[in-house]
Amino acid sequence: MLVGKESFCDFHTIQEAIAVLEQLPSNEMETLTILSGTYEEEVRIYRSNLHIIGIGQVDIRMNRYARERDEAGEEIGTFATPTLFLGGSHLILENLTISNTAGQGEAIGQAVAVYAHCDKTVFRNCTFKGHQDTLFTGPLPPAPKERLKFGGIPLREHHAHYRQLYQHCYIEGTVDFIFGGATAYFEDCEIHSLRHHENQTSYVTAASTPQGKAYGYVFHRCCLTAEPDITPVFLGRPWREYAKTVFVDCKMGKHIDPRGWDNWDNPANEKTVCYQEYGVPDVALLRSQRVPWADCFEAGTEVWGKEQVFDGVAFWKQGEVVSHDDPKSHIKRL
């Protein structure tokens, strides 16, 4: 299927195409190609086995925000704001820019660009733009802290695992702009911190790793960059007490606070979180600067490959099929 503004396209909006795709059997991989352009729409995808490819500059954008009021006059909340929602498994997204353009400030609150409530999902060469809470990697924690329920987009399916791979992606934001409970692997990505609207302290991650999960967030060979003259930024703080986040062979700008990590105003979190850095050139110096309840190591990076993190489930190779044109058979990528 082809989405675009041209008359020959099957659909002119992404959601129209998704509505048709979700009527088809979801046990086989379907491919949706999107021509270059700006698509101002909310996209909700529940189906599994879907490959979405953007050609040229494909920008999907919307501007919902947490403090926006619904018809009853109530705030819609964080999880009703995403520009793109993904609820299935075996998904591949390539060459897409997904933006929440609501901006930032007290009147805005959180504004999600991507709500990834999905398993066995690969993002390649994608861009995620927003401010607070840009990228949410599901699942949600068991219960909210300050309200009766999380609300937001209805969840039709809950997965046993939430495994996500981000390759050569660009992710920007201010506060907790990568957050959630998934086992998410960020490989060769640029993680860019924007200036907070009041130039207050910001945080790259806010993991909510479920208790007992071996892995939370893994950043491998990523570059952490920032706008000029930004207030120091922390690598992470725990949205829930068993948060796990590790940076492996990453390069970090001077905007990163020397302490590295924050306990979210709760010293008890220091006993339960797992915050680590591997491949550190001057490990003795870094240890003297970082908070004492986080670890940093000079070596040991070899144990952080995605094969180990995803426990041998090589779902990132999805999208490959065996061609029968050759009697010897060979692998071709869709």
Q: What DSSP line would sit under 183-209, residue for residue?
A: EEEEES-EEEEPPPTT---EEEEEE-P
pLDDT tens digits, residue range 271-330? Answer: 999 999 999 989 999 999 999 999 999 998 889 999 999 998 999 887 543 333 433 333
Is 326 in a helix, a strand, or coil?
Answer: coil
Domain assignments of the chain as residue spans, ordered by start: 2-333
pLDDT tens digits, residue range 23-62? Answer: 998 889 999 999 999 999 999 999 999 999 999 999 999 9
Task: Output DSSP code: residue 261.
Answer: B
| Distance separating alpha carbons of residues 98 and 126, to the nearest angstrom | 8
Q: Poorest-confidence range of 1-5, 152-156, 230-234, 313-317?
A: 313-317
What CATH architecture does domain 2-333 belong to? 3 Solenoid (2.160)
Catalytic residues: 176
pTM of the model: 0.94
| Distance separating alpha carbons of residues 11 and 216, to the nearest angstrom | 38
CA neighbours within 13 Å on the CB side: how many for 185? Answer: 24
